[in-house]
Amino acid sequence: MLSPRLLEILRTYWHDAHPREWLFPGNIPGQPISRDAIGQACPTPAIATAAGATTVTTTTATATACRRMQANDMGRWTGSRATRVRASETAPGDMPALIEPELATLVQHHPAEGDWSYEIKFDGYRMLARLERGEVRLITRNGHDWTDRMPRFRKALEALPADSAWVDSEAVVLDANGKPDFNALQNAFDRRSTADIVLYVFDLLWLNGTDLREQPLRARRTLLHELMEQAESPLLRYSDDFAEDPASLVASACKMKLEGIIGKRADAPYRSGRSNDWIKLKCNLRQEFVIGGFSRVRGAKSGVRSLRLGVHEQDGTLRYAGHVAPHLSPARSAAFARRAHTLQQAFPAFYNAPEPERDREFHWLAPDIVADVSFLEWTPNGEVRHPVFHALREDKPARAVTEGKVADELGAGNIGSTRERPGPRGTVIMGDIKISNPQRVMDPASGRTKLDIVRYYDAISEWALPCLHARPLALVRAPDGIAGELFFQKHSERARIPGVEELPVSVYPGHKPLLVANTADALVGLAQMSVVEIHSWNGAAPDLEHPDRVIFDLDPDPSLPWSAMLEAALLVKVVLDELGLRSFAKTSGGKGFHIVVPLTRRQGWEEVKLFSQAVAQHMTRVVPQRFSAVLGPKNRVGKIFIDYLRNGRSASTVAAFSVRARPGMAVSMPISWDELKDVKGGDLRLTRSNGQICS
C-alpha cells in the first residue's frame, strides 16, 4: 500500500486523463482543455476547440476516480438548478410503456442556417431505458427488451436519483484508443459478457411524471445534464454536444475514424421515427473493388441483388471482401449484364468464397470489372461494413485493386504526395521549403540521408504535431551527419528555421524567444536545417508557468535486458493505476522508456517536480532491488533510475515520433500498454526507403 503522505501528494495531482489521448495522435491541434467540474471526468468521446482548430477528442478517467469524484450524499434529484420547464407546458399523465426512438436522416451537407447542436455519432446499439419506481427496462430500437442481457445497467439506472424517467442512449464498447468499436460490442453480447459496455445518454424524454418530449432539445438536455451529474455509476456517460462549425467537426471525426456526427435542432421537440430535426453526417472509407460475382433472388432470370466484392492479396490471390447493392441506371445495368455474361465462370475466383444462401443464387465472374464503393470500416474478418455503391470504374485495372491500408494509415502526409517535387540544381522542394543537399548521408551506419529524414518528418507530421503544439523546443542539429559534431539549440540563431515560430518574449520573460513547431512545414524546416532530434517542454504556451504533463523517464543500467524495462514500466503503471492516474507509454528511442501522465494546469513547476520525485522515491523504497531515485551511473548498477529531473522548468524530453541522433536512426514511439508485451526491443527505427517505422 502507498503511504498516506504519497496518496495525498498524488491525489493533489490527479487529472481526468488528458482529454486528448496523446498516445493516439493526429487529433490534437491545440492544448488540453481542463474541466473544472471533476464530475465530468468520466470517459466520453468529445469534440473540443482550441487554438483556432476543432478536433474530436476522447476524455477518459478510471472508474475508480469517477466513482470517487462523483459520489455524493445528496438526495434524489429534483432538477431545482436546471432551466426549469413550466408546469403549464408539461404533459402529465401515465408513463408510456414503450417509446419509439427518434431517428436521424442521412445528409451529405450540414445545414447552412438554424439553431443546431452536434454530438458524436456513436457506433453501437441504440437503447432506450425506462425507469419507474426502481424498476428498469432496457429497450432496443426495434422494441426488444434487453434488460436481462444487461444486468449491470439495471443496477446503474436504478441508482439514478429519479422516481421515473425515459432516457435515450447508445450502448458502446470503447477500444484501447477510446473510440467506439462495434465489432467488440457485438462480441460482448455474443459472449454474454457486458463488462466493457457503457451507455452514452443523450436525451431525456420523461422525468418524474412529466412528459418532456414536447419540450425543446436544449431544455431536455439541460435537465439530463444535471441528472447525469449525480449518476454514481461510471457505466453511464453523458454525451456532450458542441456548437462548433460542423464541417470542422466532421473532418475531425473522420480523421479519428469515428462514424461521424449527429446534428439536432436545439429548439425541436422529440419526434419518434425518422425526422429532419435530427441529421447524420457520416465518415466513410472509399476505394475500388474487384467484382467477382453477383447474386440474384433464386429462380429469377434477370436482375442483380448484390455485387460480390474482392481485393487482391500481396500474393495475387483474390480475397472476398463483402457485398454491396448496386444502384445503376437502366442503361448501365444493361451494359453490366452484357459484360458480366462474357465473364461468367463455374467457380468463384475468391479463395474464401462466401457460403451459399438459401434464397439467393450466386453467379461467379472472372475478376475483371471494378466498382467504386465507400464504406464505414473493415471488419476483423476483412469485409466491408455499411458499403455504398458509387460507380463502375472503366479506368481502373482489376489486377491493381488491393486493400488500401497504407494510405489509410499514413494519411495526407504520404511519401510521394504532391508536397515533394524536384528543385533547381539537385535540390528538392517539400511543400514551400527547398531542401539543400538532400542526398547527404546523415547516418553512416544505415545510409539514411537528409531527404530520408525530411520525408519522415513530413509523413509523420499529422501524428507528431499534436504532441508538439505550442511547446518550446530543444533541438539537436547534425550539420555534418550524426557522426560529426552535434549542436544543441533552443533559440533562433543567424539563420531562421523555415516554418518555425518564435514565442513572444512576454511568455518567458528575461530569456530569448523560444521556438515552437506547429505545422508540417515547420517539421520539414527543422529537417532542412539538419535537425535530427526534437525535444519539448512539459508545458505549452501561452501558460508556461503550469506544466500540463509529468514524465517518468526510466533510465536503465545498460547491462539490463529489455524485459527488465518492460517489467519496471508495468510496476510504475500499477502504482499510477491504483491512484486513478491514467498513464501513457512511449519508447525513448534507446534503452530507456517514458511514462507520461497528463495534468491539469493547477500546479507550478516546483510542485510537479516534487510530485515526480515522490513517486520515484516511493518506487525505490518499495522495490529497492529494481529502482534508484539517485542520479549517476554508480547508483543504478543493476537497477533502473527513475529520472524525475525532466519535470523542472525549461527541462525537455525527446518528443514522441522524434528521430534519435544515434547509429541506426531509432525513433521515440508511443505504444499502447496492450502492445507492450509485443515490443521486441528498445528501438523502433526509420526505414530508408519511405520514412515508415519498423521494429
Catalytic (active-site) positions: 121
Q: Which residue has the cell 510496476?
A: 571
What is the Cα Rg of the chain in Å?
28
Residue 494: partners with Cβ closer than 8 Å, 6 or more residues away = none
Helix (H, G, I), strand (E, B) or coil at 46: strand
CA distances from 601 to 32, 38, 243, 550 (A): 9, 14, 25, 11
Q: Sign of the C-alpha dihedral, residues 351, 352, 358, 360?
A: negative
What's the rounded Cα separation, in Å, for the pair 48 and 44?
A: 12
**C-alpha angle 590-595-598 in degrees, rounded to nearest 5:** 140
- C-alpha cell of 518? 506547429
CA distances from 59 to 33, 37, 194, 520, 552 (A): 10, 13, 21, 26, 22
Q: What is the DSSP letter of 545?
A: S
What's the rounded Cα separation, in Å, for the pair 34 and 18?
A: 8
20 within 8 A of 29, measured Cβ to Cβ: no
Helix (H, G, I), strand (E, B) or coil at 443: strand
672 within 8 A of 179, measured Cβ to Cβ: no
Question: Count of residues for the chain?
Answer: 695
Chain Cα centroid distance, residue 85? 38
- C-alpha cell of 524? 520539414
Q: Which of 575, 123, 682, 399 is nearest to 583 (CA)?
A: 575
What's the rounded Cα separation, in Å, for the pair 51 and 237?
A: 27
Cβ-based neighbour number of residue 265 at 10 Å = 19
